[in-house]
Structure 1
């Protein structure tokens, strides 16, 4: 179907514009955490927000008020979940993945790579991306809860205090 009516086009434009403004306002009010690098929970909320916005835009069965309320509920639940998980360790453990040590003192940890479904080539790419060219000059590569890889060179590891929440750290030569 190519065209229903001008009134449907006008409705989509008007409700879409209002829903867009509402979504921007809700995201600004809910804070930076809503748009931070995504862990699995944040990703689900982001997809739900997008799906809700699409439903508001395309379904005449959903009023703008209902859609705006749905967006507010999702943002409020994400805010509540973030607040609770930042204060209650067991909730945080359920909602966010722990970081994983993939490389320890220049040596790839094959069991960690396999468990996280990461290839050695991806770790080498992260190392190159950090500006290092020698794996033996890298103290640690950590797969973070948002899926990014942090590369800590031996020259910058210092006392390793930034790695205290990474299982399998401290590395034997840093104890």
Structure 2
């Protein structure tokens, strides 16, 4: 369990309990952002930590101490990168892809759709899922950093929503 030897069933049970408790402790220290809705970066972090935990539990070549240390290092790297992202737009953009506008003012943004590998039928499906009967009803349809889709319906006499104005042309096709 603590050293390189065959852990046996009891060792696996103890490793699992210690590893799981340690992971909960680390994630509580890291904060809610670490376990918030997934974007690609978050998914990689989750798979990495989960793989370390699983290795620590079932592999005799990975001790509990080594597994706990590895999880702590990965969570610490995540915390450091999150701090850097707060201070640097470059780091933020490196870690998290910006939202992309797929429909703007009732027109499909085909270049953006190509970049996101989305076809017309998928846009139609997203419209139906959001109770939109016609493309002309849409001010914007965006794919967010976490992969969620946001649909903003048009409103007569209302300027472009502030959340859309914040998106840059190079990221979203908005002028």
Structure 2-normalised TM-score?
Answer: 0.85
- Per-residue CA shift, 1:112-171, capped at 9, x if unaligned? 111110122222222222222222111001111212211111139754111133234796
Distance 2:7 2:87 in 1: 49
Q: In the TM superposition, what are the counterparts of 1:109-124 in structure 2 within 5 Å?
A: 109-124=109-124
* Counterpart residue number, 1:93: 93
Q: In the TM superposition, what are the counterparts of 1:15-164 in structure 2 within 5 Å?
A: 15-155=15-155, 159-164=160-165
- For the residue of structure 2 that corresponds to 1:37, the secondary structure is coil
Residue ranges of structure 1 left out of the alignment (5+ in a row): 1-5
Distance 1:113 1:155 in 2: 24
Residue ranges of structure 2 left out of the alignment (5+ in a row): 1-5
Root mean square deviation, CA, Å: 2.2
Q: Given that residues 109 and 173 in structure 2 are in contact (C-alpha distance below 8 angstroms), is that contact kept between their aligned partners in structure 1?
A: no
Q: Which moved more, 1:159-168 or 1:140-149?
A: 159-168
Distance 1:123 1:167 in 2: 21
Shift >4 Å, 4+ stretches:
156-159, 169-172
Distance 1:165 1:46 in 2: 30
- Provide closer, same or farther for how the CA distance between residues 139 and 7 of structure 1 changes in structure 2, counting only shifts above 3 A: closer
Question: How many residues were matched structurally?
Answer: 167
Structure 1-normalised TM-score?
Answer: 0.85
